[in-house]
Structure 1
Amino acid sequence: MAETFDLAIVGAGVIGLAHALAAARSGRRVVVIERDVRANGASVRMSGLVTVAGHAAGQMQRRATRSREIWADVCAQAGVRIEHEGLAIVARRPEAATALAAFAATEAGAGSSFYLPDDAHALFPQFKGDVAGVFWSPDEIRVEARSAMPKIAAWLEDAHDVAFRWETVATGVGEGEVFTSRGRIAAEAVVVCAGDDFRTLFAERLSGAGLTRVKSQMLRVRLDDGYELPGAVASDLAILRLPGFEALDGVAALHARLEQEQPDYLAHGVMLLVSQSADGSLVVSGSRQTDATPDPFQSQAVDELILGEFEAVLGKRPKQIISRWIGTYAVSGERPVFVDAPSERVRVVVAANAAGASSAFSVAEETIASLYPKS
């Protein structure tokens, strides 16, 4: 006899776990179906930074703010350590300083600050070289993604009676049921949160959604003993990735200057995002190379570009490279979050452009509300 649940969720990454929490809090009996023995996709391979600054004003800004609130609550209850708070974006060029100052003055930049060079050097002595200013947002939080996901899953199981079916492949979705490698699971509703797997479930619908995949080269490095960052750190290359900056003064000029000064960086989608872990090591992101089937190979040349930007901002190269790995995730030129309704009781949710951690919990609340509207 098939197991029966109110909601079946395919995928145990951050999007899937967020939907499990929202559904469980609404009183539903939930099962999460995951093909691997633990979450192993973008949720554990990326930086673990929950961003608030830089999102486009409106829906995504509201989603990021709400998700950050829920993250803080989940971390406290699930025993997940918040490694640090805040984000500094270092302007190495006056064009970047113009854009960062403009964003800080917008409604979306409320609570953030932009510091001119003298104050920036005084407040952030870690930043070396030419600094045209520093943007500071206090709202970001960072978790150690590879340990946070298992802790959140265990907490959902213990505190909210969420069932997990690990090492179970969902092969099809019907009305009121999910077909899996371990048999049929009956569920009143289904949410598919399969990350950048666009081919296993609802491939015909996802193929027209404007989605593709990217790979990002990541490193974990170590600097001097006792070295401490003020929070997460990004360089002005990151500005080109942030939707909230697109129309601001200075951005077009910054892009033109970067095309002249760092064309290889732009060609490989290199930006700099550095976060610190409890042991003092630093997680360094990354590159962005688009491919429908990203290859698994780490390029030394691309790593050197990333480390070159690291040195330009922090004034030194790492003493040690502890590990290197590839992360892959969905990307879209149309929307950061794709939500589709193949039927009345089924939803497909994809967070693109590395927006998963920053939008997961609020998107999950929206999805569950659409499946179970209040009468």
Structure 2
Amino acid sequence: MPGTQAHHPDHFDLIVVGAGIVGLAHAYTAAQRGLKVCVVERDAACIGASIRNFGFITITGQAPGDTWRRAMHSRDVWQRIAPYAGIDIVHRNLWLAAYRPEAHDVLEAFMRTPMGEACELLDAADAQAKAPALNLSDACSVLYSPHELRVESRTAIGLLARWLAEAHGVTFRFGEAVLEVETPRVRTSRGTLHAERVAVCTNTDLHGLFADRIAAHELTLCCLQMLRVKPEAGFQLPGSVMMDLSLVRYEGYSTLPEAAALRARLQQEEAASLEHGIHLIVVQSADGSLVVGDSHHYGDAPEPFAMEEVDQLILRHLRSTLNLEAARVTERWTGVYPSSKTTPCVIDAPDDATRVVIVTSGSGASTGFGIAHDVFEKW
């Protein structure tokens, strides 16, 4: 029963290991169900993939089925809780420009799927009138989606944690490593905690808790490069922006038969970008700066060193997609997340009272609340 451990300071209904967005989504979902929750995080604050991304809650183009459904659920949760947690929704919508006829064909095919509902396929002239920040002089068409929203991930994660503590009574223990989980006992670097259930959401830590079970899923790590760019004063995006390269990466587009011709053309014209896993995403922060990326390099221990060649490719796509007069880079960083060739999310059950949850597609912000909802529905 929820609340059975209310009078024991070190006893909880649920312990969550990891304070990234997936861990916080589980803490929120449990608190909504009346459970007494503790989140244990080895770092003094969340500094991993959850704060190093776009803060872009991506719906359109997600893989059909569970991933798309989870993204829609997560978007609704973000929209509902953001005002209470003090999280600004910086902008909404997605504008995806197709510059090649083959890209236009993919967008037409996407519009015929159930996921195209409420989206619009605009001709270039119409889109240019509505979104003057885009450079559409050579574009064939633009997909407009009303579904997306964007938060500033750098601050949103901390604000979400604070709100969970203040409004929902979630206990946070930062700077405390979990050494062993044998539910109901959780041994940490500072002592022993107890909980009826434990959710392990440790992101890139593939060789720690439940390493043997994680290894069975054959995960690797993906390293990406990101930039913050200062445009000219007054420059305003109409929403999040993407282009052709995304259509061969996001499964909602890339698995359509029409994507094969686009992929073949891009292989001829943008081989270097494909080699580095580059596809352009641009979002805007409240201060007017643009968060721009990204690239994808895979390995068991990706190096933390950014490549200038990759940054220059990303910036070339930025300049060709937007009507920018200035594009000064003010920050550069890398991020790392777990990756799988077969599944966007691992939900593993070492026993009836324990779950290991790892998002393996870089979509934690977009799908985390939906995943947590599914975990508790079946737990």
Give the TM-score category using the shorter length: over 0.9
- Mark the runs of 5 or more structure 1 residues left unpaired by the alignment: none
Q: Is the 8 A contact 1:210 1:334 kept in 2?
A: no
- From 59, 64, 77, give the equivalent of 2:71: 64
The answer on whether the counterparts of 2:228 and 2:289 sit within 8 Å (CA) in structure 1 is: yes
Residue by residue over 1:20-73, the C-alpha shift from the partner in whole angstroms, topping out at 9 and shown as x without a partner, is 011011111000000111111111001110011112222222111111111111
| Matching of residue 335 in structure 1 with residue 323 in structure 2 | no
Secondary structure, in 3 states, of the residue corresponding to 2:114? coil
User: Which one of 263, 278, 284 corresponds to residue 292 of structure 2?
Assistant: 284
**1:148 and 1:249, CA in 2 relative to 1: closer, same or farther beyond 3 A?**
same
CA contact (8 A) 1:101 1:135 kept: no
From 347, 352, 358, give the equivalent of 2:360: 352
Give, as a single letter, the amino acid of the residue that structure 1 aligns with 2:358: V
| 2:232–2:325 CA contact under 8 A, matched in 1 | no
Q: Which residue of 1 aligns with 2:22?
A: 15
**Contact 2:26/2:372 (8 A) holds in 1:** yes
Q: How many residues align?
A: 371
- Residues in 1 aligned to 2:264 and 2:196: alpha-carbon distance in whole angstroms: 52
Note the 1:148-163 alignment, pairs <5 A.
148-163=156-171
Letter in 2 for 1:141: L
C-alpha RMSD over aligned residues? 1.3
Q: Does 1:195 pair with 2:203? A: yes
User: Normalized against structure 2, the TM-score is what?
Assistant: 0.95
The answer as to whether partners of 1:190 and 1:347 remain within 8 angstroms in 2 is yes
Larger mean Cα displacement after TM superposition, 207-216 or 9-18: 207-216
Aligned mates of 1:171, 1:255 — CA distance in 2: 45
- Deviation string 1:199-254 (CA, Å, 9 cap, x unpaired) is 11111111111311111100000111000000000111011121111332431011
- Conserved? CA contact 1:7–1:23, under 8 Å: yes
Counterpart residue type for residue 368 of structure 1:
F
Deviation (angstroms), 1:315? 4.1
Match of 1:44 among 47, 51, 54: 51
Equivalences for residues 236-255 of structure 1 within 5 A: 236-255=244-263
| Greater CA drift, 4-13 or 100-109 | 100-109
Contact 2:223 2:302 in 1 (8 A): yes
- Residue 230 of structure 1 corresponds to 238
Residue 316 of structure 1 and its aligned partner are, at CA, apart by: 3.8
Deviating beyond 4 angstroms after TM superposition, the runs of 4 or more aligned structure 1 residues are none
Task: Give yes or no for contact 1:265–1:305 (8 Å, CA) kept in 2.
Answer: yes
1:99 is aligned to 106
Distance 1:145 1:330 in 2: 18
Contact 1:2 1:183 in 2 (8 A): no
Asked whether the equivalents of residues 86 and 232 of structure 1 are also in contact (C-alpha less than 8 Å), the reply is yes
Per the alignment, residue 115 of structure 2 pairs with: 108
What pairs up with 1:128-207 in 2 under 5 angstroms? 128=135, 129-207=137-215
Please give the secondary structure, in 2, of the residue aligned with 1:365.
helix
Q: Which amino acid aligns with 1:148?
A: A
Query: Does the CA-based 8 Å contact 1:103-1:109 persist in structure 2?
Result: yes
Question: Counterparts of 1:174 and 1:2 in 2: how far apart (Å)?
Answer: 19
2:366 matches 1:361: no
Alpha-carbon spacing, 1:181–1:318, altered in 2? closer, same or farther (3 Å)? farther
Distance in 1 (alpha carbons) for counterparts of 2:230 and 2:9: 50
Structure 2: gaps of 5 or more residues: 1-7
CA contact (8 A) 1:234 1:274 kept: yes
Kept in 1: contact 2:74–2:370 (CA 8 A): yes
1:299 aligns with 2:273: no
Structure 1 CA distance for aligned equivalents of residues 325 and 267 of structure 2: 24
TM-score computed with the length of structure 1 as normaliser: 0.96
